[in-house]
Chains A and B, each alone.
Chain A
Amino acid sequence: MSETDLPGAGERFIRGILPENPVFRQLLGMCPVLAVTAGVATALTMSAAVLFVLVGSNLTVSLLRRQLVPHLRILVYTLLIAVYVTIADIVLKAHLPDLSRALGPYIPLIIVNCIIIGRAEVVASKQRPWPAFTDAVGQTLGFTLALVLLASVREILGAGKWLGFQVLPDAFPKWGIMLLPPGAFISLGILIAIVVWSSQRQARKAREAQLAATVTPEVA
């Protein structure tokens, strides 16, 4: 496939947010999605780290794409990602020590996050730096959307707060289970079901509209 057949920069950006949302549509990178969403603050920190690593790895892979040897490419991606993750981890430890401790092993675990290797393979190794960059930003926005949505549900229902601010009155009984692992599984399962339901509905409506358009002239 030549480079001109692939989606351009603008489309790459849009696709990442909803149509190809890494979490809801591609079901990639589930570990951090479940693990860091007990609060919105940790979710946002995780997203910032993923933004840095994904933009860095996509740009570097895209610049190196003509030099990549096919059978060594995965190794090169992994090493590049590990370098960026190390930088992100050291910066977080220095400037946000509390959040860095709260995130524990999940920042270094970005190295084996399938979203980042996936984007390097699908987009960055085939396209110029600019579409690779917009793709990284779009995918991270989609990832952030999923993380913040899940974290909001869990933090509001579990602690009555959003990003540390009180949103529900004290009279509301806190659902402690939402902050524990089962709450993460339930919330994500239901969110994915809602996304699948709405996309199935859209597909059905589009099919019906198409059917109506083809049938009407014959009836008339």
Chain B
Amino acid sequence: MDTLMTLLTIVVATAVVNNFVFTYFLGICSYLGVSKRVDMAVGMGLAVTFVMAIAGLLTWLLNNLFLSEHGLLGYDLTFVKYIVFIFVIAGAVQLVEMYIRKFHPPLYKAFGIFLPLITTNCAILGACLLVDLQTDRFSYVAQGMMGLAKAVVYNVAAGLGYTLAIVLMASIREEIEFADIPRPLQGAGITLLIAAILAMAFQGFAGMAG
């Protein structure tokens, strides 16, 4: 029960209180680019969540079991971790794409062009790096295998938070499609101002759930 509560707290704290888009500014490029229609926003959000979970699992295992000096190899190899992380993410995206194309063609059609784009989505690498930075919350040394569970839950929650943010934005942008926006603000300008108002609303959660 205790474990469940800890994991639930991580979900709320990551998806809502410290939303990746509104507090860490991660994944802004795709947030501004792919938020014109709700169905595309949902596709992008789910694809990001999916890859984030897999990348989080793999990078945690590699980082804690092989690269850390407390790992199996016994050497401090953390200086290559960025190279390893980006390799793992690019590989994970490729594998996920191949797997989905082979076994779930309808899903592949739904994800479409989003999957390859995700490699350069900074939210994925950002989530892995944030897990890596908070050693006392997630590392094997401090938490044992519980660290892995927490890290994966953290990554999934981060992806869900991103999905929430991008779907909210897409719903608003669909509504203002025919609004009379001043010409200099059209496109990026008005999107950023809407994001500001959404971010203000999300500031209201600050301090909740640890």
Which A residues form the contact surface with B (CB < 8 A)? 27-31, 34-35, 75, 78-79, 82-83, 85-86, 89-90, 104-105, 108-109, 111-114, 117, 177, 180-186, 188-190, 192-194, 196-197, 200
**In residues 1-58 of chain B, which contact A (Cβ within 8 Å)?**
22-29, 32
B residues adjacent to A (C-beta < 8 A): 22-29, 32, 79-80, 82-83, 86-87, 90, 119-122, 125-126, 129-130, 133, 182-185, 188-193, 195-197, 199-200, 202-203
If A31-B29, A105-B130 touch, whether A182 touches B203 (CB-CB below 8 Å) is yes
Contacting residues, chain A, for B182 (C-beta < 8 A): 193
Q: Are B28 and A30 touching (Cβ within 8 A)?
A: yes
Interchain CB contact under 8 A, B196 and A35: no
Q: Are B83 and A31 in contact (CB under 8 A)?
A: no
Chain A residue numbers with a CB within 8 Å of B203 are 180-182
Given A86-B83, A181-B203, A193-B189, are A31 and B196 also a contact pair (CB < 8 Å)?
no
Q: Which residues of A contact B23 (CB under 8 A)?
A: 181
**A192 and B188: CB pair below 8 A?**
yes
- In the complex, the answer to whether B183 meets A111 with C-beta atoms within 8 Å is no
Collect the chain A residues with CB atoms within 8 Å of residue B126's CB: 31, 105, 109
Contact A200 B189 (CB under 8 A): no
A83:B79 contact, CB within 8 angstroms: no
Partner of B189, one of A104, A111, A112, A196: A196
A114 and B120 form a contact (CB under 8 A)? yes
**Quick one: closest B residue to A90, CB to CB?**
B79
27 residue pairs from A and B, CB less than 8 Å apart: A27-B29, A29-B29, A31-B28, A31-B29, A31-B122, A79-B86, A85-B82, A86-B80, A104-B130, A104-B133, A105-B126, A105-B133, A108-B129, A109-B26, A109-B122, A109-B125, A109-B126, A111-B82, A111-B125, A112-B86, A112-B119, A181-B203, A182-B203, A186-B196, A189-B190, A189-B196, A190-B189
Q: Given the complex, which residues of B lie within 8 Å of A30, measured CB to CB?
A: 25, 28-29, 32
Residues of A contacting B22 in the complex (Cβ-Cβ under 8 angstroms): 181
Verify A86–B121 contact, CB threshold 8 A: no
Q: Inside 8 A of A31's CB, which chain B residues have their CB?
A: 25-29, 122, 126
B100 → chain A, closest Cβ, in Å?
Answer: 21
Main secondary structure of the interface of B (DSSP, over half): helix
The answer to whether A182 touches B86, judged by C-beta atoms less than 8 angstroms apart, is no
For A75, A83, A117, A185, the residue with the greatest tally of chain B CB atoms inside 10 Å of its CB is A185
- Decide if A194 touches B196 in the complex (CB within 8 Å): no
| Chain B residues within an 8 Å CB radius of A114 | 29, 120
State whether B82 touches A34 (Cβ < 8 A): no
Task: Report chain B residues within 8 Å CB of A28.
Answer: 29
**Given the contacts A105-B126, A112-B121, A192-B188, A34 and B86 also touching, CB distance less than 8 Å:** no
Residues of A within 8 A of B200 (CB): 177, 182
- Count chain B CB atoms within 10 A of each CB in A78, A86, A90, A105 and give the residue with the most: A105
* Closest Cβ neighbor of B195 among chain A residues: A185
Q: A180 — which chain B residues lie within 8 A by C-beta?
A: 199, 203
B6 CB → nearest A CB, Å: 23
Docked complex Cα distance between A192 and B184 (Å): 8
In angstroms, Cα B9 to Cα A55, docked, is 43
The residues of B that contact A113 with a CB separation of less than 8 Å are 122
Chain A min CB distance to B25 (Å): 4
Q: In whole angstroms, what is the CA distance A8 to B126 when docked?
A: 36
Contact flag A79-B83 (CB < 8 Å), given A189-B192, A189-B193: yes
A69 shortest CB reach to chain B, Å: 16
Contacts of B196 in A (CB 8 A): 182-183, 185-186, 189
